[in-house]
Structure 1
Amino acid sequence: MEILKLLGILIVVVGFILKLDSILIIMVAAIVTALVSGIDVVTFLQTLGSSFVSNRSMCTFIIVLVLTGTLERNGLKQAAADLMAKFKNASAGLIIGIYGIIRLIFGAFNISVGGAASFIRPIVMPMAQAIVEKDGHPIAEEYLEQLKGMSSAMDNVAWFFGQVLFVGTSGMLLVQSTLADLGYQVELIDLASVQIPVALIATACAIVYYFLKDKKLAKKYAGGAK
């Protein structure tokens, strides 16, 4: 009966109601669905493997998110704040700029180390906030919100210009194919070499801008929250 193929959904619902282990629930539901659908073990494993490979980026994102949450729960933010307390002349703008450089370098190798959820919130922001509060005064709410926006913007700029330095990205292939349609035959390495100064200038401008903006905000909110 076709309705038996929906048995996996029932298992998931009941499992979550009973608050059982999530991974176990999903695996049992998948196996039961495969069995009642007449799928043999080999085909089931092949389907499972191909689905994992085709969605590996999402799987990696989920793993990193869970790992970051676990580390944050066990003192990652406090460790980042304690580290910044040791630096006397550092500023929030400097931290954001350093993060931008790191993001750009890793982006050039198409390695997504960073992001609002996995890096800015648990690491960059606690560092920036600790520097602002090193004199013992709590940070102003508006100042904190500005730092959040600056950090996210720096992330976007560095990642946007950094990832197109990698010759294997879809963006580079799109540009190459578009130019080919217009009659211009170019190599991916040539496109990357042209993009290098653009990426460096864009990131440098963003770093300088946010550094100066942080200086202005620090002066405005000197003495703590207002």
Structure 2
Amino acid sequence: MTELNLLPLIGIVVVVAGFAFRFNPLLVVTLAGLITGWAVDLDWLSLISTFGEKFMNARQLASLLLILPIIALLERYGLQQRAKDWIASIKSVTSARILMVYFVVRECSSALGLLSLAGQAQTVRPLLAPMALGAAANTYGPLPKEIQDKISAHAAACDNIAMFFGEDIFIAFGAVLLMDAFLRENGIQGIEPLHIGLWAIPTALAALIFHCFRLARLEASLSQDVQKYIQQKQETSVVEGEMQ
């Protein structure tokens, strides 16, 4: 019976410890890979070759690593504030209308396979959420943190839901191809990826209608939340005045 070698599992320990101490995730994963390679007696050239191969197979990750510093630099020089100020200058715009327009654009672009055209890091956080917050502040005035978090959460949900239902229409999407392969393997013929994409359109339209209704309710709830906040603030002021 061969002895089980547990030394290669040290990479898992490195990852857990690195994330627990909140070190840079990229450095933690790289270090864990190097240590694991050393633990399995992989020579240095083979280890670097393996890293290069995996890096080339995940070129989309490399583009993401290039995009994030650019977004961070733009935010540092006031991208969010500029977005808020621009939206605040438009009197007729509301948070719900901004989110509805984004939902339509995001779902249509996802249906065309343009999944990386927008996203949480490159669009929602630096642009969409500040614009929605600016529109709400323009309508209701300064907002408490609870209401701001609520609007930001709806902005993030718009991106997730629109992409989730829109990408199923794209015939080259991985899930569509997986369903097509599964049907073929089980002897179900006559169904092409185009058919699967077409049948995803009613679901995407239903998601659009339901989410727009949800966003319309959001706009109504914001007014109620602001009124409650103002009332609580007035009551607190009265109590503090009586105590003095």
Normalising by structure 1, report the TM-score: 0.74
Shift of 1:219: 3.5
Partner Cα distance (1:138, 1:157) in 2: 29
Q: Does 1:220 align with 2:225?
A: yes
Partner Cα distance (2:44, 2:104) in 1: 53
* Sequence identity (%): 27
Partner Cα distance (1:203, 1:141) in 2: 28
Q: Does 1:195 align with 2:200?
A: yes
Matched residue type, 1:72: E
Aligned counterpart in structure 2 of residue 92 of structure 1, from 85, 89, 95: 95
Deviations 1:77-130 (A, max 9, x none): 112112101211211111111111121122112222222222111111111111
- Name the structure with the higher helix share: 2
Partner Cα distance (2:105, 2:164) in 1: 13
Aligned counterpart in structure 1 of residue 185 of structure 2, from 181, 188, 205: 181
8 Å CA contact 1:80–1:126 kept in 2: the answer is yes
8 Å CA contact 1:81–1:130 kept in 2: the answer is yes
Return 5+ residue gaps in structure 1 as ranges.
1-25, 31-36
Partner Cα distance (1:83, 1:224) in 2: 26
Runs of 4+ in 1 over 4 A off after TM superposition: 37-40, 46-49, 222-226
Equivalent residue number for residue 236 of structure 2 = none
Q: Kindly tell me: are residues 222 and 124 of structure 1, through their superposed partners in 2, closer, same or farther at Cα, counting changes over 3 Å?
A: farther
Equivalent residue number for residue 22 of structure 2 = none
Normalising by structure 2, report the TM-score: 0.69
Equivalent residue number for residue 172 of structure 1 = 176
- Which segment drifts farther, 192-201 or 128-137? 128-137
Equivalent residue number for residue 79 of structure 2 = 76
Equivalent residue number for residue 212 of structure 2 = 207
**Within 5 A, what are the aligned runs for 1:1-226?**
39=45, 50-111=53-114, 112-134=116-138, 137-185=141-189, 186-222=191-227
Partner Cα distance (1:213, 1:59) in 2: 37
Q: Kindly tell me: are residues 222 and 91 of structure 1, through their superposed partners in 2, closer, same or farther at Cα, counting changes over 3 Å?
A: farther
Partner Cα distance (2:167, 2:64) in 1: 17
Return 5+ residue gaps in structure 2 as ranges.
1-29, 35-42, 234-244
Let me know the Cα RMSD of the aligned residues: 2.9
8 Å CA contact 2:124–2:155 kept in 1: the answer is yes
8 Å CA contact 1:133–1:224 kept in 2: the answer is no
Q: Kindly tell me: are residues 214 and 38 of structure 1, through their superposed partners in 2, closer, same or farther at Cα, counting changes over 3 Å?
A: closer
Deviations 1:49-95 (A, max 9, x none): 64432111211222221111111111211121121012112111111
Give aligned pairs, total: 192
Partner Cα distance (2:197, 2:144) in 1: 42
Q: Kindly tell me: are residues 188 and 108 of structure 1, through their superposed partners in 2, closer, same or farther at Cα, counting changes over 3 Å?
A: same
SS in 2 for 1:133: helix
Partner Cα distance (1:79, 1:151) in 2: 18
Matched residue type, 1:121: R
SS in 2 for 1:156: helix
Equivalent residue number for residue 34 of structure 1 = none
8 Å CA contact 2:140–2:226 kept in 1: the answer is no
Greater RCO (CA < 8 Å, at least 6 residues apart): 1
